[in-house]
Amino acid sequence: MTSHPENRLPMPRRAVLGTALGGAAVAALPGSAHAAPAGGPAAAGAAARPWRLRDTMTTDGAWDRFLRGQDLLWSRLPTLWYEGPFLGDGLLGSMVYQEPGANQIRLTVQHGRVQDHRPEFGSGWGTARLPVGHLTLEPVGTITAVDWRLSLWNAELTGTVTTSAGTLTLAALIHDEVLAVRATAAGGERVTWTFHPEEAISPRKIQESPPAGYTANPPWTQQTTADGTEQVLQPLTGGGQTATSYRRNGDELLLSVGHSFPSDSAAEADSRRNLRSAVSYRALRRRHTRWWHAFYRKSFVSFPDQRLQSFHWIQLYKVASASRTDGPVMATSGPWLEPTPWPAVWWNLNVQLEYWLIHAFNHPELDSLASTLRQSQEQLTANVPAAYRSDSSGIGRSSDMFADREVGRPGTGAETGDLTWALHNVWLSYRHSMDRSLLRDTIYPLLRRTINYYWHFLTPGSDGRLHLPSTLSPEYPVVPPQDTNYDLALIRWGCQTLLDSAELLGIDDELKPRWQEILAKLTPYPVDANGFMIGADTPYDQSHRHYSHLLMVYPLYLVNWDQPENRDLITKSVVRWHALTGAHRGYSYTGAASMYAMTGDGDTAIGYLRKFFDPTTRYPCRANTHYTEAGPVIETPLSASQSLHDMFCQSWGGIIRVFPAVPTAWADLTLHDFRTQGAFLVSAVRKAGSTRFIRIRSLAGEPLKLRHGLTGRLTVLLDDGTPARTHDLGDGTLAIDLPRGREVLVHSGSRPDLVIAPVAVSEPGAAWGLP
């Protein structure tokens, strides 16, 4: 199966204007496949009437009211990490729940940069994320009730703790690597805080013993500085240090964590500097809320299912609490480390799913995956066997935040495609921003090297096709086959993306003939009567939680619903994947939801997504919207938000599809500044089951193709009210000439009210937390 033009980078604007638009200026045209001629009835003699959206979400009050309806609430004390409130700033993280076996409240203290530095013991032990410690709030009386709210708008936990002796009033937030807590007592209560350092050993100890030759890290030491700051210093055997500094000031406690490597002293200075900068709870809160209030305003979405709408906004809060572009790539647990077998970064599905939702939410500033790969190119070269380092790069299944993990060779059953898949995420970052430097400096050089690594092992068979020796399809539990669909899909995507990128960047690359040869000769995807196989001679015949063998369908879209000849193959492959039960996990359901959204079947898509929230399933979404498989696994809830995005708006293949798979029960839906590939911001309103209008703003001047879903005669106007240049491409798709920085309005019939506002809830639901 060859590459498809739908998945190539769009042509330069001049080429599109010359072929698709043909110079026609059309203000109104049918919603069907045939455009009206230029100067049709809606264009003739009509005076330009500028238009603008009326956005009701422009004030602090409007946002406060809306997000208050999405907040998490607690009326009983959470006893587990996946029941309690969580705070974070992309580095420092805390979860709040009952201290196990005690009448106390625990606030965990963990940090995304705190890790061991002994790669000889692997990512599970030698470079694992390490625990820091936790605070306890220790009341006099027995805790009888709590009344807590985690405010999304303010990213702050507030509330009361009622005890047999009185009441404690609590507030907590994290900003600029400082955990700030404030507590006051009433009645017979008093405020007592204690910091408990934790042993600097891999959380993987819950599952297995340390490897041979592993020695424990030295014990921590404690000291009090001249200004009254308490410090806990944790030296590490492999070099570096973690420093936790905290001080009390009246009813406040400020705490900061620093980590340095290879220095043994920088961590101490960093943590103390953070405390000095914070000044006080009140001062830190002002900076904190200013950041979050500006953050939320970058996009807006509202739909009528209260439980899912709240979940969706909590995921945006969660990913912003877990990742910032200048921080480390998210570990599988995020910054909230708990006892877990997964104290590292997993590259064969987890890290990819973690970042998808940031694009449509219009938050490129959260993309620490792209920045990590950009900064780790030397390490990614060192990860491949020495014989291939001159031209190849890769990464193994799991690593630390520096991407330090060797990758095996094809032919040995190794898992070799993970870096290529991660680069697809960075390509999505490029496509949503059109930041050419990201393409030139990160994607192109690294993708060139990952395809080179495959090239070393591709061999011609007797059929004249290029074949790949045995590689692992993550995480299918059989002897790794030849020609795995996981790798074949990534090779095809990689070669076509390199060819398109070289043309766009004006690079006359000597390897272009090689990439063309691979695309021409690479063996077809192995397929049988049940659809896509795992690999050659390896059918999909036992339950599989990953969708490794279906990457060509999602998220690569190499085989997609716009290709009628492939629809039956897609359908039976997805049906077969879920027909064999037993191994499915939360992301199995979110993946299926996104695949059905691609087909336009919103009702089946939401049906699969709801399985993730069904408490009768083995691995459902938890009370605070986190997820666990033997430990925190952050990617699945975040991918559930992407499944919702795929129902609301899609932009693969160079076409923006508005409301492509909205469940029929959701008659009303509002999107505002929803970012798509091509760097467009889409605003659209659906009422009573019909699209009322679509507004698109171009940030980069890329070619715009819109599958609008409207019926009847269309009106297409630029922001000054003049007709836009358009061309009907058929299949409900319209090419629109939209210059950079301009906006276009598309609607049918008379001009609707152009209002951006929350929709009414038609499916009420309880708040998340323990309300």
What mean pLDDT, rounded, does the chain reach?
94
Pairwise CA distance, residues 364 & 385, whole Å = 34
The verdict on residue 181 lying in a domain is yes
Over residues 174-232, the pLDDT tens digits come to 999 999 999 999 999 999 999 999 999 999 999 999 999 999 999 999 999 989 999 99
Domain-ending residue, one of 550, 583, 616: 583
Which helix (H) or strand (E) segment holds residue 731: the answer is none
Does residue 369 share a domain with residue 289? no
Q: Report DSSP state, residue 371.
A: H
Torsion angle of alpha carbons 121, 122, 125, 126, nearest 10°?
A: 60
The verdict on residue 681 lying in a domain is yes
Which helix (H) or strand (E) segment holds residue 604: the answer is helix 602-613
* β-strand pairing of 713-718 with 28-30: antiparallel
Cβ atoms of 107 and 134 closer than 8 Å: yes
CA 84 from chain centre, in angstroms, equals 22
Give the domain range for residue 480. Answer: 351-583
Q: Report DSSP state, residue 122.
A: I
Domain-ending residue, one of 296, 328, 361: 296
Pick from 16-30, 276-290, 692-706: least confident: 16-30
Please compute, for residue 644, the number of CA atoms within 13 A of its CA located in the half-sphere on the CB side: 31
The verdict on residue 607 lying in a domain is no
Pairwise CA distance, residues 121 & 647, whole Å = 43
Does residue 381 share a domain with residue 282? no
**Residue 250 phi, psi (nearest 5):** 65, -125
Pairwise CA distance, residues 154 & 286, whole Å = 10
Could you tell me the two tokens for 664?
């029929």
Helix 567-579 × helix 586-598 angle, to 10°? 160
Pairwise CA distance, residues 20 & 655, whole Å = 13
Cα separations (Å) of 126 from 132, 209, 214, 227, 245? Answer: 16, 13, 8, 36, 25
Cβ atoms of 160 and 146 closer than 8 Å: yes
The stretch 699-705 carries a mean pLDDT of 98
Residue 29 pLDDT level (bands cut at 50, 70, 90): very low
What would you report as the CA-atom Rg of the chain, rounded to the nearest whole angstrom?
27
CATH code of the domain containing 527: 1.50.10.10
pLDDT of residue 47: 72
Could you tell me the two tokens for 651?
């932009």
Cα separations (Å) of 254 from 182, 286, 299? Answer: 9, 15, 32
Pairwise CA distance, residues 630 & 585, whole Å = 12
Does residue 165 share a domain with residue 52? no
Domain-ending residue, one of 583, 611, 636: 583
Over residues 346-391, the pLDDT tens digits come to 999 999 999 999 999 999 999 999 999 999 999 999 999 999 999 9
pLDDT > 50? residue 44? no
The verdict on residue 562 lying in a domain is yes
The stretch 43-52 carries a mean pLDDT of 70
3-state secondary structure of 63: helix
Over residues 298-333, the pLDDT tens digits come to 999 999 999 999 999 999 999 999 999 999 999 999
Burial 576-588 (b: 16+ CB within 10 A, else e): bbbeeeeebbbbb
Does residue 88 share a domain with residue 12? no
Please compute, for residue 515, the number of CA atoms within 13 A of its CA located in the half-sphere on the CB side: 25
Does residue 208 share a domain with residue 179? yes
Residues above pLDDT 70, as percent of the chain: 94
The verdict on residue 768 lying in a domain is no
Pairwise CA distance, residues 649 & 645, whole Å = 6
Does residue 412 share a domain with residue 519? yes
Could you tell me the two tokens for 295?
């953050």
Cα separations (Å) of 120 from 128, 211, 214, 403, 578? Answer: 12, 10, 9, 14, 39
Does residue 743 share a domain with residue 722? yes
- DSSP-derived secondary structure for 338-359: -S-S--SEETTTHHHHHHTHHH
Residue in this structure with the two tokens 């276009």, named with its chain if needed: 744
Does residue 170 share a domain with residue 126? yes
Residue type, 539: P
CA 130 from chain centre, in angstroms, equals 23
Residue type, 129: R
* β-strand pairing of 300-302 with 769-770: unpaired
CATH code of the domain containing 714: 2.60.40
Which helix (H) or strand (E) segment holds residue 707: the answer is strand 704-707
The verdict on residue 343 lying in a domain is no
Does residue 190 share a domain with residue 53? no
The residue among 254, 220, 203, 258 whose CA lies nearest residue 91 is 258
Pairwise CA distance, residues 141 & 401, whole Å = 43
Helices (H), 182-340: 266-278, 281-296, 306-322
Pairwise CA distance, residues 404 & 114, whole Å = 15
Give the CA angle between residues 247, 249, 253 to the nearest 5°. Answer: 55
The residue among 648, 676, 643 whose CA lies nearest residue 429 is 676
Does residue 153 share a domain with residue 45? no
The residue among 26, 93, 565 whose CA lies nearest residue 321 is 93
Over residues 710-731, the pLDDT tens digits come to 999 999 999 999 999 999 999 9
Could you tell me the two tokens for 242?
């973690």
3-state secondary structure of 452: helix
The residue among 424, 480, 440 whose CA lies nearest residue 652 is 424
pLDDT > 70? residue 23? no
Does residue 76 share a domain with residue 53? no
The verdict on residue 335 lying in a domain is no
pLDDT of residue 16: 36
The stretch 634-644 carries a mean pLDDT of 98
The verdict on residue 11 lying in a domain is yes
pLDDT > 50? residue 20? no
Q: Report DSSP state, residue 129.
A: B
Cβ atoms of 362 and 676 closer than 8 Å: no
> What is the number of structural domains in the chain?
3
Cα separations (Å) of 13 from 26, 97, 381, 678, 701? Answer: 19, 55, 36, 11, 8
Residue 264 pLDDT level (bands cut at 50, 70, 90): confident
CATH code of the domain containing 149: 2.70.98.50
Does residue 194 share a domain with residue 224? yes
The CB density around residue 23, as the number of other CB atoms within 10 Å, is 10
Cβ atoms of 135 and 109 closer than 8 Å: yes
